[in-house]
Amino acid sequence: MSTKRVFVLGVLLVVLGSGLCAAADELPTVPGMRNMHFRTYSVLQGLPQASAMVMAQDSASFVWVATQDGLVRFDSYDFKVFKHHRDDPYSLSDNYVRALAPDRHGGLWIGARSGDLNHYNRWTGRFDHLSIHHQGGQSARSTGISALALSADERLWIVSGDGVLQWLDPGSRQVRRAPLGHRDVLEDV
């Protein structure tokens, strides 16, 4: 690229950047949001692991953080870490959590790398476990669960690591495969 083009490109970026800053100054302010402060948290404050895979906020305003070493619930003051315990059948099924979806009843759906689907009941403090199987009986254990989403009708949509889309029927708690077949685009979700 010639020096002249680089100079013109630089001037355009400066002009556009200053215009965007001026436009941002003209935006209306939101009451109570004048001074925003950010705080960072790490293992020093109670996180079990430094990498957050995904975060979600439930109806009780808890912030949930999925990590490679457990599930974390944050109440704006303290962290509570949930992990798998071999001697506790109601503990998290796998410490490597990859997907979260809060439901409107105060519960939380958790997708694990192991392919297990967990549901946290905030009233009992217990995790229920469901193993996800594709049609034909093949387990999702080899690829894990990579994404979860709840629809308005309480249907839980589940994407496995190999690109298979399934849904959990809330009434029967049976997992059904969506009639899409395998989708390469879902492998990167």
The tens-digit pLDDT sequence of the chain (189 residues) is: 444 443 333 333 333 344 434 444 555 666 767 777 788 888 888 889 888 899 999 999 999 999 999 999 999 999 999 999 999 999 999 999 999 999 988 999 999 998 889 999 999 999 999 877 554 555 555 578 999 999 888 889 998 887 788 888 777 777 888 876 555 555 555
Which pTM value belongs to this model? 0.74
At residue 61, the pLDDT reads: 92
Token pair 């392919």: residue:
115
Helix (H, G, I), strand (E, B) or coil at 18: helix
Q: Which of 104, 100, 134, 105 is nearest to 118 (CA)?
A: 100
What is the distance between the alpha carbons of residues 108 and 99, in angstroms, rounded to a whole number? 10
DSSP assigned state of 15: H
